[in-house]
């Protein structure tokens, strides 16, 4: 197990893309070469057989720089990888030079990984912005629905209030009419009571009674008595 890389030796051995041997990482390829040169094949075989000890590894995004030591030959192998692909491989017996190569490769991983790291962060920001926009649109839809529901409630309340006002006006008109009828009836009753309390008028009573006739001189007293009786008892 390659502890620093966090991968099995098979991950390196199964990599089909490798790079020519070199000890100068100043001119790195833009991508992993298609053919496996001899040095890369040699390092891969040593990793596969667990002959190398991993001394240092640094990660920057998908890129990594690693330095291995061979206890049998006292040689150092310095490699640059992207994922499982070997982009550059160098080998030296000088430990100081191996450290310098590793430092250069570690610095290169920062430059090489910059676009990938920027893309990772940009993709994350875009995803967050999309989620925020979706949440905002959902909130706007909810608010629009609430406003529409409130408007319907207000409209229904306004219609009900108008109907109640119409009914109140009709009841008020009926009340006024009944009050007028009651006032007229009370006036009629008051007039009748006033007449009842005054009693019958003597003038009207005199007009209803026929006055007695004065007897006239007559040669026949019998005729006069008949007229008086007739007048007194009609």
- What distances in angstroms separate CA 24 from CA 45, 65, 73, 91, one per listed residue? 22, 14, 21, 10
Q: What is the mean pLDDT of residues 41-46?
A: 88
Return the minimum-mean-pLDDT range out of 106-115, 131-140, 157-166, 217-226.
217-226
Give the three-class secondary structure for 119.
Answer: helix
Percent of the chain with pLDDT over 90: 32
Q: For 176-234, how does the pLDDT look when each residue is reduced to its tens digit (9 = 90+)?
A: 888 888 888 888 888 777 777 776 666 655 565 555 555 555 555 555 454 545 444 44
Residue 149 is encoded by which pair of tokens?
Answer: 């529901």
Question: Where along the chain do its domains lie?
Answer: 9-114
Give the three-class secondary structure for 187.
Answer: helix
Q: What is the mean pLDDT of residues 146-169?
A: 86
Return the minimum-mean-pLDDT range out of 32-41, 47-56, 66-75.
32-41
The pLDDT confidence band at residue 64, using thresholds 50, 70 and 90, is very high
Q: If you average pLDDT over every residue of the chain, what do you get?
A: 77
What's the confidence (pLDDT) of residue 12?
44
What's the confidence (pLDDT) of residue 31?
52
Give 18's contacts (C-beta < 8 A, 6+ positions apart).
32, 33, 35, 36, 37, 40, 41, 44, 85, 86, 89
Give 45's contacts (C-beta < 8 A, 6+ positions apart).
13
Q: What is the mean pLDDT of residues 148-167?
A: 86
pLDDT at 27 over 80: no
pLDDT at 9 over 50: no
């Amino acid at each position: 197990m390659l502890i620093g890389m966090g991968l099995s030796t098979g991950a390196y051995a199964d990599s089909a893309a490798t790079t020519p041997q070199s000890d100068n990482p100043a001119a790195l390829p833009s991508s992993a070469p298609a053919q496996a040169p001899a040095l890369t094949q040699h390092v891969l075989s040593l990793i596969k057989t667990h002959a190398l000890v991993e001394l240092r590894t640094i990660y920057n995004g998908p890129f990594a720089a690693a330095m291995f030591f061979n206890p049998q030959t006292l040689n150092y192998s310095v490699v640059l990888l992207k994922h499982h692909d070997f982009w550059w491989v160098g080998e030296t017996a000088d430990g100081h030079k191996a450290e310098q190569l590793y430092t250069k490769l570690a610095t290169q991983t920062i430059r090489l990984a910059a676009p990938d790291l920027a893309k990772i962060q940009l993709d994350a920001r875009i995803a967050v912005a999309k989620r925020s926009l979706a949440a905002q649109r959902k909130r706007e839809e909810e608010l629009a629905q609430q406003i529409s529901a409130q408007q319907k409630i207000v409209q229904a309340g306004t219609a009900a209030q108008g109907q109640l006002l119409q009914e109140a006006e009709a009841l008020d008109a009926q009340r006024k009419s009944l009050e007028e009828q009651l006032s007229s009836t009370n006036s009629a009753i008051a007039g009748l009571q006033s007449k009842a309390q005054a009693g019958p008028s003597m003038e009207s009573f005199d007009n209803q009674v026929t006055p007695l006739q004065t007897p006239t001189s007559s040669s026949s007293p019998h005729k006069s008595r008949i007229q008086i009786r007739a007048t007194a008892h009609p």
